[in-house]
Amino acid sequence: MKFLVTIVFILISATAFADYLVVQRNGNLRQNESTSSEILEKLHTGDTLLLLELNQTAGYYHVVSLASRQEGWVYRTLVRKVVGEIEGEPLTGALETDAVVDIRVLDIGAGLCTLIKLPGNKYVIYDAGGDNYFQPERTPIQVKEYIPAGSVIELLVLSHTDADHIVSASQILRDYKVKKVLWTGYESSMIGGGNPTSSYTRLYNALENDPSIENINLNELDSTIDAGNHFSIGNAKFTFLCGFGSPPSEWGLSAKDEKLNSVSIVMKLNFGGNSVLFCGDAVGRHRNDPVDALIATEKFLVENAASLLQSTVIIAPHHGAMNGSSRSFVEHVKAESVIFAAGHKHDHPTLRTAEEYLRFTTANKIFRTDRGDDEGGNEWPLGRTAGCRDKYNDDTIQVQLRSNGTYRVYYMDPEVPCF
């Protein structure tokens, strides 16, 4: 199926003031004018901030970071005001609305939910999972800390139907005005009989009950996504590399979990010369295969989308499991930074998987949402804290792609608490 989404935007130009601020001591750029507001970025002494409004609100200045082009609020005692032009940084165009794209990888435990904030407060969500299947509201609470309830979501992509990727999707459909949902629609009862999972049923019913949402269910459409289908929102380009309504028979998969994972929708986001690859639970090998094995989703990608795979940042397949991130796939991606959305479950990320990525990057550029976790077994041991059972929502990771060609990946909380 040739899948193409076209969204038209009117970009609003901003006016720059001559007054600006210089950070006097390390602090935080916040989403709103409150100490309880979400931290968007860490500020450092000497950073320059452009004023959007001359007057303060509750002691906060409304600013844009000159380095990252991130808009937010900073408390007055952290900065000093300077009047005049910024040497070497002309203000013309400095506040372009397409200056930064933020990707937030939520720490939801052993699951995946990523939030994409585009210029002009446009949003895309890739996966809406959770670790605790009996508390599906937990992830939406974290989502609302970043995306105001009631906001428009341009597109919700659900890579596949495992609960750790969709358990919160039905609640997100209630909390937000979602325009389109793209999902595989392929679920466990289609393999071994029985009843669909509760997560799938809630999502299916929510979509059926709201005809205003464009529901693109690949299984019901008997479709696959051709590699290279893309659309743009402003200067951000989204490219789909694959996605299946059911696993192709020639893959020869027999295990239920491999079938469900293998249909994952893989998506790439390009902005400002850098890119992020979203892989869902793509399958590339059987768990005990030799090191050069290549099967299923990743084989399809290497054979049909090789020129699209190289990416600056990868959110690694299947939380860093043994059956993803095959050697050939990793060699094609050549990621500079790697993110494992993991939790205290299943020994993720595994040592074998981390070592594959370390052939192209360094340990300090590998990020994980379970810092300090101590499961033993096959888990990657770097940074392990003895006896640590990593909790959720303390290792959220932020990626910033900037229009000036630079990017950042960092933990929202620099500390590594473990209880």
Query: In this structure, is residue 87 part of a structural domain?
Result: no
DSSP type of residue 57: B
User: Are 49 and 195 within one domain?
Assistant: no
Which segment of 7-11, 32-36, 80-84, 388-392 scores lowest on mean pLDDT?
7-11
User: Are 205 and 294 within one domain?
Assistant: yes
pLDDT at 417: 67
Mean pLDDT score, 226-246? 95
Pick the more confident residue, 88 or 158.
158
Residues 43, 58 contacting (CB under 8 angstroms): no
Q: What is the C-alpha to C-alpha distance for residues 378 and 370, in angstroms, rounded to an integer?
A: 15
Q: Domains in the chain: how many in total?
A: 2
Mean pLDDT score, 408-412? 93
User: Are 204 and 352 within one domain?
Assistant: yes
CA atoms within 13 A on the CB side of 406: 6
Domain at 117, CATH number: 3.60.15.10
Q: Would you say the pTM of this structure is higher than 0.85?
A: no
Residues 28, 110 contacting (CB under 8 angstroms): no
> For residue range 376-401, what is the model confidence (pLDDT) as tens digits?
889 999 888 888 888 888 999 999 99
Both tokens of residue 151?
């906001």
User: Are 239 and 113 within one domain?
Assistant: yes
Domain hosting 74: range is 20-82
User: Are 69 and 115 within one domain?
Assistant: no
Q: How far is CA 129 from CA 114, 158, 391, in A?
A: 9, 9, 16
Q: What are the start-end ranges of the H helices in 193-236?
A: 198-208
Mean pLDDT score, 88-112? 71
Query: In this structure, is residue 89 part of a structural domain?
Result: no
pLDDT at 92: 40
Query: In this structure, is residue 235 part of a structural domain?
Result: yes
User: Are 29 and 135 within one domain?
Assistant: no
> For residue range 274-293, what is the model confidence (pLDDT) as tens digits?
999 999 999 999 999 998 99
Which H or E element spans position 271? strand 266-271
| Four-residue CA torsion sign, 133, 298, 411, 152 | negative
pLDDT at 315: 98
User: Are 77 and 178 within one domain?
Assistant: no
